[in-house]
Amino acid sequence: MEAVLKTETAPAAGGRSLGIVETRKYTFAGPLLLESGEILGPVTLAYETYGKLNREKSNAILVLHALSGDAHAAGLHRGEKVPGWWDAMIGPGKPFDTDRYFVICSNVIGGCKGSTGPASVEPRTGKPYGTAFPFITIADMVLAQRHLIDFLAIDRLLCVAGGSMGGMQALQWVASYPERVRSAIPIATALKHSPQQIAFNEVIRQSIMADPAWRGGDYYETGQPEKGLSVARMIGHITFMSEKSMEEKFSRRLKNDRLGFDFGADFEVEGYLRYRGANFVKRFDANSYLYITKALDYFDLSGGRLIAGKGVDTRFLVLSFQSDWLYPSHQSQEIVRQLKRKRVDATYCELKSTWGHDAFLVELEGQTTLIRHFLERTYLGKENGNGNHR
């Protein structure tokens, strides 16, 4: 659950720009047998690729986006000035170095950025699915991605990486297809949601469904529930930041140097939240927000389910941030404990940051060094005396 800060572009982590990129679409008949027992098909995935796949097909990295992200992770779309959501990390000379690696990013099923989701047309009716769309899980998202990776003829990924919900997908890739993943970088994520995290998501969902314009999810001809979705995003943004980052960014500053003594946006923080909410409704579908937050709450790889068998040789780099209270460090530490109990090679680092949960998108210096070295050692296959990657 993250803020895609497209108007607050993070400083570059070195390297060069990818330039103009294009989003592609891959459609397969399926059908996908979902965890719920329902069937979904045909399925379309929007995706982008950066760099070149080598002859051995050993340099492919799958980058996985967070809740409101999309396939546009890096570079520029023609005619646009704002780069992809992880542009500072992906490109020539950057941590996910496209001079060396072939990087893939796809939009998840259930989303609204080109992949099959509630706003897509249901073949049988010729109308948008709405809430007739089947419930999906993180495992279902990964199953669809596996079809994309099969289409690209890649047997084993060098790495799966992502923050927040992207980190959950990275974990699920290892749980579902350990033989197809050489390494994983889950960032600012968890094995399962706590009751508090589920509670935040429920308030977000209720704010959408309480808007009369939601109409039970059947709003595609009348216009989506903008007020409810805007409030939902405002709630989310509060959880993305830390107390310190909010103090540094806003404090108690007034927008017009005086109190209005009304219910307007007197304080800068109020204006910021309203601005974020108003912008979000222009680019995201309310039903997708409902479905994806529910998928986050369903996710659970605790109790040994992350590594179910023996002999898993996937390497892990697990990262968290000190000021992240939405996905606090103890949840990342629990991932590492589970891996260590299964004797899986795992490195963990808690990075200093005041950005809160947003840190995985904007706090780049520490991530840059760790990810660059981790990927390099994995790619070159450097091992210790026991045959395990360091």
pLDDT of residue 14: 67
Does CATH place domain 198-295 in 1.10.1740.110?
yes
Catalytic residue among 106, 120, 164, 353: 164
39-40 and 32-33 beta bridge pairing: antiparallel
Burial profile 275-310: b = 16 or more Cβ within 10 angstroms, e = fewer: ebbeebbeebbbbbbbbbbbbbbbbebeeeebbeee
105 within 8 A of 45, measured Cβ to Cβ: no
- Rounded to whole angstroms, the Cα distance separating 367 from 317 reads 10
Domain 24-193+300-380 has CATH 3.40.50.1820: yes
The residue assigned the tokens 């970088």 is: 185
Strand partners of residue 76: 20
The DSSP letter of residue 261 is S
The span from the CA of 193 to the CA of 326, in Å, is 10
| 81: three-class secondary structure by DSSP | coil
Measured distance CA(76)–CA(21) in Å, rounded: 6
Which amino acid makes up residue 208? I
pLDDT at 12: 45
pLDDT under 50: residue ranges of the chain: 1-12, 383-390
- Tokens at residue 299, please? 């996710």
Q: What is the three-class DSSP state of 49?
A: strand
The tens digit of pLDDT for each residue in 315-348 reads 999 999 999 999 999 999 999 999 999 999 999 9
Omega prior to 95 cis, within 30 of 0: no
| pLDDT score of 7 | 29
Please give the Cα distance from 110 to 311 (Å, whole number).
33
Residue-level pLDDT at 311: 79
Say what the pTM is.
0.92
Predicted local distance difference test score (pLDDT) of residue 126 = 96
Q: Which distant-in-sequence residues (6+ apart) come within 8 Å of 221 by Cβ?
A: none
Active site residue 330: no
Select which of 285, 324, 345, 358 is catalytic: 324
**Spatial contact of 16 and 82, defined as CB atoms under 8 Å apart:** no
Do 24-193+300-380 and 198-295 share a fold? Answer: no
- The type of residue at 337 is R
Please provide residue 273's backbone torsions phi and psi, each rounded to the nearest 5 degrees: -65, -40
Length of the chain: 390
Provide the 8-state DSSP code for 387: S
**Rounded to an integer, what distance in angstroms lies between the CA atom of residue 103 and that of residue 62?**
6
Concerning whether 164 is annotated as a catalytic residue, the answer is yes
- Alpha helix (H) residue ranges in the chain: 138-151, 165-176, 195-209, 226-240, 243-249, 268-280, 286-298, 329-341, 359-362, 365-380
pLDDT of residue 156: 98
> What's the pLDDT tens digit per position in 130-156?
999 999 999 999 999 999 999 999 999
> Where do the structural domains in the chain lie, given as residue ranges?
24-193+300-380, 198-295
Annotation marks residue 357 as catalytic: yes
- Can the peptide bond before residue 328 be classed as cis, meaning omega within 30 degrees of 0? no
Q: Which two tokens stand for residue 111?
A: 């989303």
Whole-angstrom Cα distance, residue 250 to residue 50? 37
